[in-house]
Structure 1
Amino acid sequence: MKAKTISIKVFVLITFIVMVAMNALANIIPINGITTGEVSDSYPNLFAPTGLTFAIWGVIYILLAVYTIYQLIAFKPTGYSEKAHIFKSVGIAFSISSVANTIWILAWHYGNIPLSLVLMLVILVCLAVINLILKNNRFTLAEKLLIKLPFSVYFGWITVATIANVTTLLVDLQWGRFGLSEVLLTIIILFVGVLISVATIMLNRDVAYGLVIIWAYVGILIKHISESGFNWGYFSVVVTVVICLALLIATEVYLIFFKKSRTIY
């Protein structure tokens, strides 16, 4: 049992380091002669946020690094511990997501968009499982910050990234959109995304998750109203994003100030 626990902790560390290294090299080298952002730009759509929005990856990596270090030193493998068992379950799911994230970079950079979506869904499912595990257990404030917060933020961003990946696949396949205009399809995607997010926020009582979704939608709004973006070229999309942001902010306010027995993370 002790050896197994240690091996899981080490595997979490190794897979995390490889994931971060791969994401860094993807833009430093860059892989296949193109950066991650340039791949995204090569599939133009109305859902993609402005480039600044992706700075959240820095926050995500820092939070995940803190968790990775913490899980190495916390919960010594001496006999059975409920929280040690939680760490094992979370560690396995996180490691799988890290491996999927690493392979996703290769699929994305080499233009295999269908495979990239499959891998993104693997990451999303892993994070959903992790957040479900953490939701059903009690933690101290310190543990919430060191364990729950990193995965709330990561889960929030991957939720948006999955929707973006689906949109990219539709562009890649040159899908006819059932005769719908690109604007109308984007409006539908925006509303579906916010409904999924609001449901997740309320189900998990997770303010941090909601803040990430708000950040992403603000990025989409900036892209649509800035001169370097669409410069108000799609007014109906702008209105939709504003409505979605209002719904998200209202949900956050309700959860923080009115929901009984609430939890922030």
Structure 2
Amino acid sequence: MRILGLYVGMWIAFIAMIVVNFLSNYLPINGQTTAEISNRIEVLFTPASYVFSIWGLIYFLLLVWLILQYKSIKNNEFSSQIGVLFVFSCLFNIAWLFSWHYEKFALSILFMVLLLVTLILIYVQYPNTAQGLSERLPFSFYLAWITVATIVNISYVLKYYGVDLGISEAVGSLVLVAAVVVIGYLALENSNDIYFVLVIVWALIGIVMKTSNITMQNGTLIMTIILIIAALAQLMINRKTQRA
């Protein structure tokens, strides 16, 4: 009964997250959409608007994952720890939206980081071989995107408050791009997670498409190509290792 109660709670949290996300743009919350707030300030480390459509895929994958958890419950394979973490991830997602729409930007970083940490905790519960729809796959997409979104969020808030780190925005943004590239590669090397890399590449291409800063555009494009080549090489290495 406790497991079933948790499962119901997961559904309630998920539906609440979807509803709040819907209202955030179609109500909208506090009279402004998420994109309207984001577009007030030009931040170089921000993908083009179309890139954010990945949220639809993420929510669809989470929906499928949630449905499939019922089978895990019947087979006594359900992880209550993952279930609890999933509920918290939904709550942090909702909290981020309210803090963002009511322009509590410093607070939005806190909730975004909490969401990121929660997704990491879910992600590491699965072994590298558990990459199905009922396992790690949805969280590969979700975690990769929130990794990028966290950096975008922090970059926006720093620029909003006029925080100067002593380097040009283009150089600082390229450092962030390099960090994301490294994270994407490490996810493939250590977790054999190609889906994580695909999301990172999707976001980086979106940055190239949006920015008009030549330095940022060329630097991001070069590092994206490097990531793609490195990922393909690592995939070949992983396959050879598995066959050996």
Normalising by structure 1, report the TM-score.
0.86
**Which letter does structure 2 place at the counterpart of 1:145?**
L
1:70, CA displacement in angstroms?
Answer: 1.2
1:8-27 residue pairs with structure 2 within 5 A? 8-27=6-25
Distance in 1 separating the partners of 2:228 and 2:202: 11
Q: Give 1:1-265 correspondences, 5 Å limit.
A: 3-76=1-74, 81=76, 83-84=77-78, 87-135=79-127, 138-139=129-130, 144-178=132-166, 180-224=167-211, 230=212, 234-259=213-238, 260-261=240-241
Structure 1 vs Structure 2: percent identity of aligned residues? 33
| Aligned residue identity for 1:58 | G
Question: What is the Cα deviation at residue 261 of structure 1?
Answer: 4.6
Cross-structure match for 1:227: none
Q: Per-residue deviation at 1:67?
A: 0.7
Say if 1:153 and 1:15 are closer, same or farther in 2 by CA, change over 3 A: same
Structure 1 residue 177: Cα displacement: 2.0
Asked if the contact 1:39–1:109 (Cα under 8 Å) also holds between the matched residues in 2, the reply is: yes
Amino acid at match of 1:35: T
Distance 1:145 1:255 in 2: 23
Structure 2: distance between partners of 1:235 and 1:121? 30
Structure 1 alignment gaps of length 5 or more: 225-229
Cα pair 1:197 1:210 within 8 Å, conserved: yes
Amino acid at match of 2:114: V
TM-superposed deviation, 1:250: 1.9
The count of residues paired between Structure 1 and Structure 2 equals 241
Kept in 2, the 8 Å contact 1:101–1:123? The answer is yes
What is the deviation of 1:255?
A: 3.2
Q: Distance in 1 between matches of 2:138 and 2:126?
A: 11
**8 A Cα contact 1:36 1:109, kept in partner:** yes
CA contact (8 A) 1:49 1:223 kept: yes
- Alignment-mate amino acid for residue 257 of structure 1: M
How far residue 184 of structure 1 moved from its aligned partner, in angstroms, is: 1.4
Post-superposition shift, 1:222?
0.8
The letter for the 1-side match of 2:132 is K
